[in-house]
A and B are shown apart, each in its own frame.
Chain A
Amino acid sequence: MAADREISEQTTWMLAIRDRRDKQAFARLFDHYAPRLKGFVIRSGLDAAQAEEVVQDVMLTIWRKAEQFDPERAQVSGWIYQITRNRQIDVVRRVARAVPEELKHEDDHEPDPGQVLALEEETGKLKQALKRLKPEQRTMIEKAYLGDLTHQEIQAQTGLPLGTIKSRIRLGLDRLRHELKELREP
């Protein structure tokens, strides 16, 4: 079990990028995510050329906004997912996406390895749960998060295990609520 309790390489790369501006780590992150990103973006409706533009923008944003990555609150994949959706929407809609205020840790904040691992564990379970879904349910979930379903369509999919899927990850994140509160209070 000891081997399972190590921080994932994705998180390790991302922290090296954030804390040491490590280009080698960025190159490895690129090799891992850029091809997946292109596949993901094409599935949500862009053509290959547009998709490549989005991938390039997203990879550069990862490098430039690395200081916003917080491994206690988000997995690398979830953080990149949001950057990607924001970028895609800006491309398609030409109206800047409305985003929440950012929370910032103190500069000297060291991530708590226990919290980082706990979150990774929950995300691992989440991935397993997604794999165990019936094919039609999984397709529907993918469509929802790829932006193929409107809010009303998601709402109408009463068989969609949205809450169940999410509550797995929610457990891990809930522990952070107290901390979030402290961050937000001026």
Chain B
Amino acid sequence: MKTITHHIPDPMLAAYAAGTLPHAFEVVVATHVSMCDTCRVSLEAHQAVGGAILENADAADLPEGMKSDVMALLDQPIDDPQPAPKRAGIYPGPVMHALRNRAPRWKSLGFGVRQSILSDGPEGSLRLLHIPPGRAVPDHGHNGMELTLVLQGSFHDETGTFGVGDLEIADEELEHTPIAGEGDPCICLAATDAPLRFRTFVPRVLQPLFRI
């Protein structure tokens, strides 16, 4: 397996541990951690910091009977409503969870580029992108931040080369043209906290139609 070289920065991991990331980013972080032991260790370190803060927290009085209520519930049978997500093929557990355990529903964007939207709302968007080898993702800037995590193949742009498990973080300033590498088509998980604005690919007036 190729070594992952582009990781999650510390502030983002801390925000993930504390649960303050927008949901689309949260899925990307959980997916990267599923693929990357370095970041899993880092995340567990952040959780340890959270634990130290919990351990130092001031105790608050509990209502009478709460303990006996909880003790009485221990033997109750339960069904686990949220089993841990499982990987399927190239899609790690958190992606399968976002896909509701179904295969992606690809929609063509032209020139062999396809996307499958997993969620889209005012807080941001989450989608899978499928880019044939050597093909460019249309040049685009960002209104906010964009996270792109490679699940298969690779891409390169002005900032470097990204292989399986690598995470690119692009802010508003970055105008980049990611191009898929040779070999397998590049499949990425991409999350934004604002709508994307494509430059050359689709006229702006059509963007709401394509939701890109």
Contacts and interface: CB of A to CB of B under 8 A. Distances in A.
Given A101-B93, A154-B14, A127 B37 contact: no
B20 A147 contact: yes
Contacts of A52: 62-63, 66
Contact of A173 (B18, B44, B85): B44
B55 A141 contact: no
Contacts of B27: 98
Q: Is the interface of B mostly helix, strand, loop or mixed?
A: helix
A13 interface: no
A2 interface: no
Contact of B74 (A26, A36, A154): A26
B49 A145 contact: yes
A155 B8 CA distance: 13
Contact of A59 (B17, B21, B63, B70): B70
Interface string B91-109: 0111001100000000000
A16 interface: no
Contacts of A95: 23
A20 interface: no
Contact of B40 (A78, A166, A169, A180): A180
Contact of A149 (B20, B60, B73, B82): B20
Interface of A: 23, 26-27, 30-31, 33-40, 42-43, 48, 51-52, 55-56, 59-60, 63-64, 73-82, 84-86, 88-89, 93, 95-103, 122-123, 126-127, 130, 141-142, 144-147, 149-151, 154-155, 162-163, 165-167, 169-170, 173-174, 176-177, 180-181, 184
Interface of B: 9-12, 14-15, 17-21, 23, 25-27, 29-31, 33-34, 37-38, 40-63, 66-67, 69-71, 73-74, 78, 80, 82, 84-87, 92-94, 97-98
